[in-house]
Amino acid sequence: MLDIPSRVRVHVETLPAAQIDMGVCDAFEQYAPVGKPYTMNAPHPPKVAGIDSTVPAPAHTVAPAPAAPDAPAVLTDPGALLQDRLAGWVSDLTTLHELTERLVLTTTLPDALTELLRAGAALVGARRGLVVLEPGDGLGPATTVGLGLTRSDLGHLETVPRAALPHGTLLDTRAGLPGGVAEVVRADLFAEQGLHPRHRDVAARLGFAASYTRPLSTETAGRLGAVVWLYDEPAEPVERQRHLVGLYTRYATEHLARLLEVERTRACMATMAEELLPSRLPRVSGVELAVRHRTSPRGGGDWYDALPLPDAALGLTVGSVTGTGPSAVAAAGRLRASLRAYAVMEGEDPVAVLSDLELLLRLTEPARPATALFAYCEPALQRITLAGAGHSPPLLIGERRTAYVETSVSAPLGMLACWEAPSVEVQAAPGETVLLYTDGLLQRTGEPVDRAFARLHAAAAALPRATRRDPEAVADHVLRTVLPDGLDTADSAEDVVLLAVRFE
């Protein structure tokens, strides 16, 4: 009797001999007890730590050395063979567990595709490869990511007719669909009959002589694309490697499908938010405008607008509604559209504009407060009259001063039974810039409000003199200084709007 713990021994002893050759994960799913596998006496093959090295072949996959003709027959212990096979299954299962753990840590499509290429290359013993993402539903996104291949190399591969490439065969026919062809093996490209001449030329130029291709498709995810690994010399993966990489790619396809859905949702939210904002800023004599807008992945409710008004005036507004997601984006679009109408009718009185907006918000969306700032700008007089509802004060930036505009404290729209606050008049000098912004600029810093205000003031005060003449450069400098190290583009629940108005 083998020295195997009793919980494992019960299952091993009931293994039919015909099932000893079944796959690693299939066998353990049926016969291994739930929980962590017990340690066995037989020496295990070394585990694979990561994906930087190829998966070692366990002893049970190594062909026995041929015996000499006159050598006496040696009886092999069946128990030792079974224990060796079980040890190999444990090694394979450990390898898959480590690789899938690394894959599940990826949160973006590019990272997941790169990890898929690296792990698959380790499993099949290749050095380079590429993955072509082309969802079968045609909704995109479509992209190609290479491992050990530059953009120029990928460009050379694109010159080969698609039908001549193995992944083209899978993607353009039903072969790559769930239940279709599971793999395409080209063990020696230069010895292959009927290989397209351009394919032969590109293979020689890039230095690969064989390829192994698998579709990225499952019954639940559908067809997402195909992955190709390239060998420098004529070669092909053995049966065990194909089995392992097949299990891995099926799991990777499901993970990619989840990330693909997230990516599509983000793109849809960003598109919807941008479409509800001005497509371009107006050109008005006497002022220059620049804007920066960063949308959160979940979709936030920040908005801005610049609207030409009668008498060569300009209406400027920034604001934010509470919440995230499609409902917040839609609410911001409705408020912006309403504010434009009120600005045309009574824009010279910012208090009246915000009062009308507050009444509309209270009647139509009583459970969604909003902050807003509206400014009536007269470029010829270099004057701005503004009113704010729970909004951060504008920042005035000039050659000789950098200061926040003193506004009265007021509640956000929709918080009180009747909103009212006095307006403030700002007299700017030629060359000065008024900076309007939403609270997301301060909140993304992760600092207390007073320190965030101080950071914004310091960033504006440190503007180089030449930069002050260009509102685009002013907006970029402030955004980059207040939100360093990629905080302006990182995933965040807060939208950011920065509107710079420079008087000529």
**Would you say residue 152 has pLDDT above 70?**
yes
| Mean confidence (pLDDT) of the chain | 82
Q: Distance between CA atoms of 35 and 53, rounded to whole angstroms?
A: 28
Indicate if 153 and 295 belong to the same structural domain: no
Local confidence band at 20 (pLDDT 50, 70, 90 cut-offs): very low
**Is residue 163 domain-resident?**
yes
pLDDT score recorded for residue 38: 33
pLDDT digits (tens, 9 = 90+) for 301-354: 899 999 999 999 999 999 999 888 788 888 888 899 999 999 999 999 999 999
Indicate if 176 and 87 belong to the same structural domain: no
**Is residue 395 domain-resident?**
yes
Give the residue among 174, 169, 142 at the shortest CA–CA distance from 228. 169
pLDDT score recorded for residue 171: 87
Q: How far is CA 338 from the centre of its chain?
A: 34
Indicate if 205 and 329 belong to the same structural domain: no
pLDDT score recorded for residue 57: 42
Characterize the bridge pairing of strands 383-389 and 370-378.
antiparallel
Q: Distance between CA atoms of 440 and 97, rounded to whole angstroms?
A: 40
Q: Distance between CA atoms of 116 and 256, rounded to whole angstroms?
A: 10
**Would you say residue 13 has pLDDT above 90?**
no
Indicate if 153 and 136 belong to the same structural domain: yes
**Would you say residue 35 has pLDDT above 50?**
no
Indicate if 292 and 213 belong to the same structural domain: no
Indicate if 254 and 301 belong to the same structural domain: no
pLDDT score recorded for residue 234: 95
Beta bridge partners of 425: 385
**Is residue 69 domain-resident?**
no
Give the residue-averaged pLDDT of 229-241: 95
Indicate if 465 and 366 belong to the same structural domain: yes
**Would you say residue 18 has pLDDT above 50?**
no
Supply the CATH number for residue 229's domain. Answer: 3.30.450.40
Q: Distance between CA atoms of 316 and 474, rounded to whole angstroms?
A: 18
pLDDT score recorded for residue 48: 36
Q: Which two tokens stand for residue 492?
A: 């965040």
**Would you say residue 385 has pLDDT above 90?**
yes
Give the residue-averaged pLDDT of 66-78: 55
**Would you say residue 262 has pLDDT above 70?**
yes
Indicate if 303 and 157 belong to the same structural domain: no
pTM score: 0.64
- Distances in whole angstroms, Cα of residue 66 to Cα of each of 71, 73, 80, 376: 10, 12, 19, 93
End position of a domain, from candidates 270, 297, 319? 270
pLDDT score recorded for residue 272: 78
The more confident residue out of 23 and 186 is 186
Indicate if 352 and 446 belong to the same structural domain: yes
- Find out whether 224 and 260 touch, Cβ atoms under 8 Å: yes
The more confident residue out of 8 and 298 is 298
Q: Distance between CA atoms of 476 and 473, rounded to whole angstroms?
A: 5
Share of the chain above pLDDT 90, in %: 55
**Would you say residue 149 has pLDDT above 50?**
yes
Give the residue-averaged pLDDT of 449-477: 92
The more confident residue out of 26 and 223 is 223
Local confidence band at 81 (pLDDT 50, 70, 90 cut-offs): confident
Q: Distance between CA atoms of 410 and 419, rounded to whole angstroms?
A: 8
- Domain enclosing residue 90, as ranges: 6-63+75-101
**Is residue 431 domain-resident?**
yes
Q: Which two tokens stand for residue 72?
A: 């006496």
Indicate if 257 and 343 belong to the same structural domain: no
Burial of 266 (0-12, 13-18, 19+ CB in 10 A): middle
**Is residue 324 domain-resident?**
yes
